[in-house]
Amino acid sequence: MAPETRKPYLFGSRTRDRLLILLALTDELHVRGAARALGKGPSEIAKAVTSLERIGVVVSRIVGTTRFVSLNRRWYAAVELKALLERLGAADSELSAIAVRSRARPRRIGKPL
């Protein structure tokens, strides 16, 4: 691919960009769910999460063996970052559709969908 046609990524790579947008649209995801939603391998998502954690943009918590990831609300530019990511998500219909499918809340047993 010629350098003129390559699209620069805001956060370093396409995976990081899409992961951050997805986190802004869904509030919290687990690594395997994010990998499934983005069509990537869990190790690739885990590496992206680790690098974003190192700079403080995201935080994760471990419940059992599952690693849940969310945007760091205590990061100094968290409000502005979330607003930017939501705007980028609104412009990307594919990611918006993925976010809608990814949102899940606990449901009572037997409750109709």
Domain ranges of the chain: 14-98
Inform me whether the pLDDT recorded for 2 exceeds 60.
no
Q: Domain 14-98, what architecture?
A: Orthogonal Bundle (1.10)
**Closest among 93, 99, 105 to 20, alpha carbons compared:** 99
Listed in order, strand segments (DSSP E) in the chain are 28-30, 58-63, 66-71
Looking from the CA of 17 toward its CB, the CA atoms found within 13 Å total 13
Q: How confident is the model at residue 6 (pLDDT cuts 50, 70, 90)?
A: low
pLDDT tens for 41-95 read 999 999 999 999 999 999 999 998 889 999 999 999 999 999 999 998 888 878 8
pLDDT number for residue 92: 80
